[in-house]
């Protein structure tokens, strides 16, 4: 059992929370909710938060999967906005938008999120 990982479903997002310092804290859950709101209101409907990792250096790495390249454009502004809301420095929040070809994922609810997570390497493929 992994004590540094937890899974959260927030709306259409199935998010893996990982912490280098042990089990994810309430601050990580709040960050996930703020990130969900930011992504839902600023990125395309295909964008999904896949992974949030808290590093030892007190930085948060957020992986977003999408099938639209345009979702990369707003990542720097979302980093600054999320950092401000959470009371962090702008360089403590890093958003990586991974683009996956639409042909590689099934767009049915639940399946899409799982396949995005597999493509960005957050979870192993189902055997």
Percentage of the chain beyond pLDDT 90 is: 54
Mean pLDDT of the chain: 86
Instruction: Report the CATH number at residue 63.
Output: 3.30.429
pLDDT of 104 reads 65
Domain assignment present for 94 = yes
Confidence of residue 54 (pLDDT cuts 50, 70, 90): very high
Q: Residue 6 belongs to what H/E stretch? A: strand 5-10
Alpha carbon distance 51, 38 (integer Å) = 15
Alpha carbon distance 81, 75 (integer Å) = 10
Of the chain, the end-to-end C-alpha distance in Å amounts to 20
Domain assignment present for 124 = no
Pair 78, 34: CB distance under 8 Å: no
| Secondary structure letter of residue 40 according to DSSP | H
C-alpha gyration radius of the chain:
14
Percentage of the chain beyond pLDDT 70 is: 87
| Number of folded domains that form the chain | 1
Domain assignment present for 127 = no
Domain of residue 29 covers: 5-119
Residue 3 vs residue 58, higher pLDDT = 58
């Amino acid at each position: 059992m992994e004590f540094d990982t937890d899974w959260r479903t927030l709306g259409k997002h199935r998010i893996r929370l990982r912490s280098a310092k042990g089990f994810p804290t309430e601050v990580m859950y709040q960050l996930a909710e703020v990130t969900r709101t930011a992504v839902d209101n600023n990125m395309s409907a295909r964008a999904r938060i896949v992974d949030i990792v808290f590093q030892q250096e007190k930085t948060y790495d957020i992986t977003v999967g999408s099938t639209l390249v345009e979702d990369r454009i707003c990542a720097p502004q979302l980093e600054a906005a999320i950092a401000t809301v959470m009371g962090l420095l702008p360089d403590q929040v890093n958003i990586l938008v991974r683009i996956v070809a639409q042909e590689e994922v099934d767009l049915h609810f639940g399946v899409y999120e799982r396949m995005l997570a597999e493509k960005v390497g957050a979870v192993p493929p189902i055997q």
